[in-house]
Amino acid sequence: MSLDLDAVVAIDVHVHAERNTNEPQDPVTTEILAAAAKYFGGHPPQPTAEEVAAYYRERNMVAVIFNVDDEAGMGRRRLGNGEVLEAARKHPDVLIPFGSVDPHKGKLGVREARELIEAGVRGFKFHPNTQAFWPNDRAFYPLYEVIADAGLIALFHSGTTGIGAGMPGGGGVRLKYSNPICVDDIAADFPELHIILAHPSFPWQDEALAIAVHKPNVYIDLSGWSPKYFPENLVRYTNSQLKHKMLFGSDYPLITPDRWLADFEQLPIKDEVRPLVIKENAARLLKL
């Protein structure tokens, strides 16, 4: 089955597969989840890629799905890209796969990225906090070159993170790596590379907006926060200069797309802008 864009209600560009089908949860991940549940006051589900597909099909939505290879930065065993790719092949009507490669792998990571591109990923997710790297370190440029040459997307976590929140020392996670201004260097040096800054970039929201205005190749996904908490300047730019560059993302399973869209309805977003954010901008960026 292929993707029927006319039948799609929304395109969620930020969805996590959190668990492998036949493997127990990594003990480090278990500890992080327990801290997150205490910090956020809830226990979000831990879906497999197959479960994500079923969830989004029920809603007539498309999900950009990925996990994060942060073995070096966090010491937890990664879920791997194979299950995401397999689920996307089985469910092309609802899943668009992104890959994840630990930048610290150097030449091995570059080779893995090429293999993932051949296998069908449509982009790559980076999490500078948990992967513990400066995005603009030129040592990682060969990895970006591979992604850019393939015409794919690089999605970077930006701003604070709930991972490690409330743990002693924040679980060792350093927030400095996800200041979006670091990604500005990449946008300048790889103008052909499409870049998504993930999340409202607290405490660096103005930096993210400035970059997206200045660099034609930079977009912002609005995941990870309920829209009712969006700062006023983010709403203003969504309605104006960045209306063609803002993307719906939920950060499922942390936030459900149902909750995000319901809260987005309450924002003073122009009628002509809503469909751009919810579906049309992503469709154009993903070449659907």
5-285: CATH topology: TIM Barrel (3.20.20)
Residues 74-99 as b/e (b if ≥16 CB within 10 A, e otherwise) read bebebbebebbbebbeebbbbbbbbb
Contact call for residues 132 and 75 (beta carbons, < 8 A): no
Q: Which tens digit of pLDDT belongs to each residue from 124-181? A: 999 999 999 999 999 999 999 999 999 999 999 999 998 888 888 988 889 999 999 9
* Residue 97 binned pLDDT confidence (cut-offs 50, 70, 90): very high
Q: Which tens digit of pLDDT belongs to each residue from 182-193? A: 999 999 999 999
Q: Which of 3-12, 77-86, 131-140 is least confident?
A: 77-86
Contact call for residues 164 and 173 (beta carbons, < 8 A): yes
**Would you list the domain boundaries of the chain?**
5-285
At 10 the three-state DSSP class reads: strand
- In the predicted model, is pLDDT for residue 80 greater than 90? no
Rounded CA-CA distance 73/85 in Å is 24
How many other C-beta atoms can be found within 10 angstroms of the C-beta atom of residue 235? 15
